[in-house]
Structure 1
Amino acid sequence: MNEPGTVFRESSAEPRTESVPFSHLSLELGHLYMEDFAEGAARLRRHFAAVRPWAEAARAGLGRLPKGRRPRISTCFLVDDYFSRLSTPAELIPPLLEAAAEAGLTIDYLARESGCAVADPDRRDRVELAEAVLDRLVESPPPGSNGFRPPAVRTGWLANGRRTPFQRTSAALDSTGVWQPPSETEARGHSVFLDVELWNGPEDARTWSCAFLASVWQLVRLGLLRDNGAAVLTPTRWQGEEFPAEWDALPPVLQLNPAATPFTAYGTCSVLPSRFLPVEHAVRVILDQVHVAAEALEQVAERSAVEGFTVPAGVVDRTSYVFPPGL
């Protein structure tokens, strides 16, 4: 006879969280729009020439590892094939790789931004990555909030504090009709309030914002996303054939360097043009309010502890950026 409170579950009801390999650092060598590529090879050469010293600084900034450990640093590059497709992989990728090599840089992994929205869209079991991250948003309620505003999963807007109160009555009827400023939660002295748009368009045909897709990109690089326990956007080894004429014929993440260390890493560093600074501020606001599966976090903690490599507890603290002047 079963003891009171005993619960039996099928092992298949709780999918195992798949392990992923980890580098110490995922170093992003750039994220360009199609319009940048349209400027030609000279634009690409200027980009990588400007990136190289900062990429070297990011490598050096990893610091010393425990005795006997060698740094594992993989490089990646994100191509925007989500918001526009002015060129094809066959036309775009070869000059991109040539410009990087000319600057003494190797792109280990090439990723498509559309894969951060929907991974493997042609498969019957396609993974709606952006939707999955949206479902994991846990908004941080600011002090004094009354829950009047609908949640971000309905409005498509996520803030890092308290918005200006919405006046529901006319000034003549509202005895408290005094304007109040927005305020950042846990501000240090003065607020830097930010309200981030996550998507626009109808619910059944959303266009995800650059900031939201960049948040998915960071979580993927950190090895913290799963689909029913399975790893997502795992790299596909490139076999050296000609690049296809259609972006959808290319895997979401392509491993170009067979000798590369793992794509996923304990921490990330992105070397980006300064125009991305407000976008990445928004990314940090989003990452601060994403609930990451405990099992994925535990894997990182256990693996890094075995290596004697310190990983910050907060997900957002595992990301870093460089915005070189003139990039």
Structure 2
Amino acid sequence: MTEAVFRETTAEPVTKSVPLSHLSLELGHLYMEDFEAGPDRLREHFAEVRIWVDAVRASAARRSKRPRISTCFLIDDYFSRFSTPAELIPMVLKEAERAGLAIDYLARESACAVADRIELAESVMHRLVESPPPGSYGSRPPVSQTGWLANGQRTPSMSRSALGEVKGWEPPQETAARNHSVFMDVELWSEKDGRRLWSCPFLAAVWQLARLGLLRHLGEPVLEPQEWKSEEFPHDWDRLPPLIKLTDTTAAFSAYRTCTLLPNRFLAVEDAVRLILDQTDVDAGALQQVADRSGGEGIAVPAPVAQRATYVFYEEPGDSSEAEGT
């Protein structure tokens, strides 16, 4: 005899879809010291970015005759808060326009940690699935305890065997190494005065998931853009919505693929982002929606989420040493 199983429909949240462009093109996110350097630094950035924007658009046109491309820009208000939205945003928009560029969507980096009272970074952290290295026996504490995520086996600590013999040094090993290992160990957060400070790579990984339309909270889309019609911006970052739409573009914020234009000093950070994306158990419903819609449009989308994110790193003149925060 088969027993019937009854479930309330509200017990299984439905994953709601989000509109999708073909490409989300990020026109950069810079350190606060870049903004502090003034309009000349921004002018230099956008002038360089413009060269690559044209190339990226041409590449997108090879995949679709009429590609839907939205642009975005991320401002750091998480690690430091230089100036105010009222002073900084008009300067960014003016210099972008001077280079012939329009920023469709502008986001606050703090929104990658918390947006609309939803702990986005915490939510993504709980979706991390570590890739177990060959021969491991669970002796390493989980990422939820350590705050560190690796792409393989760390160098074992020096120890003595049962017979008192000191074991020699062993190298780290990448789990999916091809001939030779490229081992990475990424810090996802630190603790200071009882407060968790999320790292640049981890917030950037949350940002990529948002741009790819893969973030959900109880099935609901998160970090949705709010239209901003006013020419005035608030004097307090907390009064600015997490993500705002600045133009009348019909291209959606989220997209099948992302492309990010950055100075080459961000290369290590974005390598770490891809490692995090490779070990994130993304919402299955959101993934299926992207697969169905891209298939219906005849658009090829890579199955691994990390491969949906592409980059252009440009060389900066002068000193490009990396600073803290982003």
Using the size of structure 1 for normalisation, the TM-score is: 0.94
Q: Aligned-pair RMSD on alpha carbons?
A: 1.6
Among 5, 18, 21, the residue aligned to 2:19: 21
Higher mean Cα deviation, 200-209 or 234-243? 200-209
- Partners of 1:300 and 1:164 in 2: CA distance: 39
Asked if 1:10 is matched to 2:17, the reply is no
Partner residue in 2 for 1:307: 297
Pairing of 1:1-327 with structure 2 (within 5 A):
4-65=2-63, 70-120=66-116, 126-167=117-158, 169-170=159-160, 174-175=164-165, 177-201=167-191, 205-326=195-316
Query: Could you tell me whether the CA contact under 8 Å between 1:20 and 1:231 is conserved in 2?
Result: yes
- Aligned counterparts of 2:141 and 2:167: Cα–Cα separation in 1: 22
SS at match of 1:322: strand
Any idea what SS the aligned residue of 2:100 has? coil
Once the 2 structures are TM-superposed, how far is the Cα of residue 34 of structure 1 from its aligned partner? 1.4
Q: Distance in 2 between matches of 1:140 and 1:113?
A: 28
SS at match of 1:309: coil
What is the rounded CA distance, in whole Å, between the counterparts of 2:3 and 2:210 in structure 1?
Answer: 39
State how far apart, in whole Å, the 2-side matches of 1:323 and 1:5 are: 59
How far, CA to CA, are the matches of 2:152 and 2:106 in structure 1?
35
Alpha-carbon contact 1:34-1:87 (below 8 Å) kept: no
The separation in 2 between residues aligned to 1:289 and 1:34, in whole angstroms, is 29
Distance, in Å, in 1 between the alignment partners of 2:138 and 2:123 is 24
CA distance in 2, matches of 1:323, 1:84: 24
Q: Is the 8 A contact 1:88 1:245 kept in 2?
A: yes
Amino acid at match of 1:71: P
Letter in 2 for 1:159: A
Give the drift of 1:64.
2.8
Task: Decide whether the 8 Å contact of 2:127 with 2:282 is kept in 1.
Answer: yes
Aligned-residue offset at 1:173: 5.5
The CA deviation string for residues 262-307 of structure 1, in whole angstroms up to 9 with x for no partner, is 0000000000111110000000110000001111000000000111
Alpha-carbon separation, structure 1, partners of 2:106 and 2:209: 16
Report the CA distance between 1:241 and its aligned residue.
Answer: 3.9
Question: Hey, what does 1:123 align to over in structure 2?
Answer: none
Change (3 A) 1:63 1:174: farther
| Aligned-partner Cα distance in 2 for 1:173–1:53 | 64
Off by >6 Å, runs of 4+ in structure 1: none
Equivalences, count: 317
Is residue 108–residue 260 contact of structure 1 (8 Å, CA) maintained in 2? no
Instruction: Determine the C-alpha separation between the residues in 2 that align with 1:185 and 1:79.
Output: 35
What is the one-letter code of the residue matched to 1:299?
Answer: Q
SS class of match (1:111): strand
For 2:216 and 2:37, locate their aligned partners in 1 and report how far apart those are by CA, in whole Å. Answer: 37
Change in 2 beyond 3 A, CA 1:254/1:143: same
Q: Distance in 1 between matches of 2:164 and 2:19?
A: 59
Which runs of no fewer than 5 residues in structure 2 stay unpaired? 318-326
**What residue ranges of structure 1 are gaps of 5+ in the alignment?**
121-125
* CA offset digits 1:231-266 (Å, max 9, x no partner): 000000001241000011001111001224100000
CA contact (8 A) 2:259 2:310 kept: yes
TM-superposed deviation, 1:204: 5.4
Amino acid at match of 1:242: E
Structure-1 separation of matches of 2:284 and 2:67: 26
